Amino acid sequence: MSDVDSAIGESERKMSRAVEFLEQDLSVIRTGRASPSLLDKVLVDAWGAEQPINTLATISVPEPRLLVVQPWDKSLIGPIEKAIQKSDLGMNPNNDGNVIRLALPQLNEQRRVELAKQVRKRAEEAKIAIRNIRRDADTGLKRLEKDGELSQDDLRRATERVQKLTDHTIKQVDEAAGRKEREVKDV
C-alpha cells in the first residue's frame, strides 16, 4: 500500500468516526418520542463513583412518550431520580419505589425550533471536523510531493480523491442531520 493510499485511508477512517460521533450525539437530542438513548449522558452517583444510568438499570419504552427506568439495585432509585432531575433533559421523574417513570411532555413549537437549531449546529461542527481532516490530508500529500515521493499529477489525483471523500462524508452528515431535524419537527 502506498503512502497516498494509507493517507487517504486514514482520512476516511477519521471522517467515518466524525459521522458516527455526530449520529451518537444527535441520538440524545429529545424528540417527541421516548428513546432509551435520551438517558445515555445521565451519570448517577452510585457506590462512590459517577456511572452511566444504563449500567445501573433497565430502560424501557412501554409507550411512545414514556420511559421506564428499573434499577437492578432498589437502593439506587433515589440517586437515579436525583441524577435525572439534575440533567438538562427537562423531565420530571415519577418514582413509585420500584421503578421511575419519565413522561415526555409534548414539545411546543418554540422548543422544536430550538432543537432544530441545535441539530444544525452539531452538524456544522461535524462538517468543520471533516474539513479539518481534509486539510490535514492535503497537507500530508503536499509534503509527499515536496519530498519527491509524489508527482504533481499524482498529487492532483490524490487531492481529488480526498475531496470526493470529503463531499461524500459531508453528504452523510447532511442526511443524518436532516433525519433528526424531521424527527424533531414531527408533531
CATH number of 36-103: 3.30.1360.40
Own/partner pairs, 85-94, CB within 8 angstroms, 24+ separation: 87/41, 87/42, 89/30, 89/38, 89/39, 89/42, 90/30, 93/69
Rg of the Cα trace of the chain?
22
Q: 3-28+108-185 and 36-103 share one CATH topology? A: no
Condensed to tens digits (0 to 9), the pLDDT of residues 106-146 reads: 777 887 888 889 899 999 999 999 999 999 999 999 998 89
Question: What pLDDT is stored for residue 1 in this prediction?
Answer: 52
- Which amino acid appears at position 22 of this protein? L
Which CATH homologous superfamily contains domain 3-28+108-185? Ribosome-recycling factor (1.10.132.20)
Condensed to tens digits (0 to 9), the pLDDT of residues 45-89 reads: 888 888 888 888 888 888 877 888 888 888 888 888 888 888 777
Count of other CB atoms within 10 angstroms of residue 165: 20
- 48 versus 166: which is more confidently predicted? 166
Question: What pLDDT is stored for residue 30 in this prediction?
Answer: 66
Question: What pLDDT is stored for residue 120 in this prediction?
Answer: 93
In sequence order, what are the residues at sequence separation of 6 or more whose Cβ sits closer than 8 angstroms to the Cβ of residue 96?
none
- 98 versus 2: which is more confidently predicted? 98
Each domain of the chain, given as residue ranges in start order, spans 3-28+108-185, 36-103
Question: What pLDDT is stored for residue 127 in this prediction?
Answer: 96
Q: Tell me the three-class secondary structure of the chain, residue by residue.
A: CCHHHHHHHHHHHHHHHHHHHHHHHHHCCCCCCCCHHHHCCCEEEECCEEEEHHHCEEEEEEECCEEEEEECCHHHHHHHHHHHHHCCCCCCCEECCCCEEEECCCCCHHHHHHHHHHHHHHHHHHHHHHHHHHHHHHHHHHHHHHCCCCCHHHHHHHHHHHHHHHHHHHHHHHHHHHHHHHHHHCC
Mean pLDDT of 1-10: 82
Q: Do 176 and 23 meet the contact criterion of CB atoms below 8 Å apart? A: yes
Share of the chain above pLDDT 70, in %: 96
